[in-house]
Amino acid sequence: MASHGGIRIGSGRPAGAVNKATSELKLNLSELAREYTSDALDTLVEVMQSSQSDSARIAAATAILDRGYGRPTKTTSLEVNAPFVPTKIQLVAYSGRADGSIVD
C-alpha cells in the first residue's frame, strides 16, 4: 500500500527548475488585457445605464480590468483609544518562613 501525505523523496519541482508561470508570461497577459480596457469600461457604463441583470458581463469586464491593472488595494487602519495606565512591578526578596515567622 502506498503511503499518503508527508514528504516523499523525488516529489515536487526539481531545485532550480523554472516556474511555468514566469513573469514574462504574466506581463504579456497584462499587456493583452490592457488592449481591451476601453471595451471593458464601455461595457460597465452600458450596464450601468441600461441594467437588466448583466452580472456575467460585469464580471467579465471586471476580470479584464483586474488582469490589466491588478486588483484594487485594500487599506485598513486601526486606532486604539485606550488610556495608558502605567504598571509598577516590584521584586521583593522574601525573608520569612512559610509559617510567617522571620528568620534572624
Residue pLDDT tens, the chain, 104 long: 556 677 788 787 788 777 766 666 777 777 888 888 888 888 888 887 877 778 888 888 888 788 788 887 888 888 878 777 888 888 877 777 667 666 65
The predicted structure's pLDDT at residue 101 = 66
Structurally, the chain folds into a number of domains equal to 1
Separation of alpha carbons 104 and 56, rounded Å:
88
Q: Is residue 42 part of a domain?
A: yes
Q: What are phi and psi of 77, to 5 degrees?
A: -125, 150
The predicted structure's pLDDT at residue 3 = 61
* Cα-Cα-Cα-Cα dihedral sign, residues 29, 34, 35, 37: positive
- Check: CB of residue 12 under 8 Å from CB of residue 23: no
DSSP state of 103: P
Domain, as residue range, for 28: 23-68
Q: Is residue 103 part of a domain?
A: no
Which pTM was predicted? Answer: 0.39
H-helix or E-strand spanning residue 65: helix 55-69
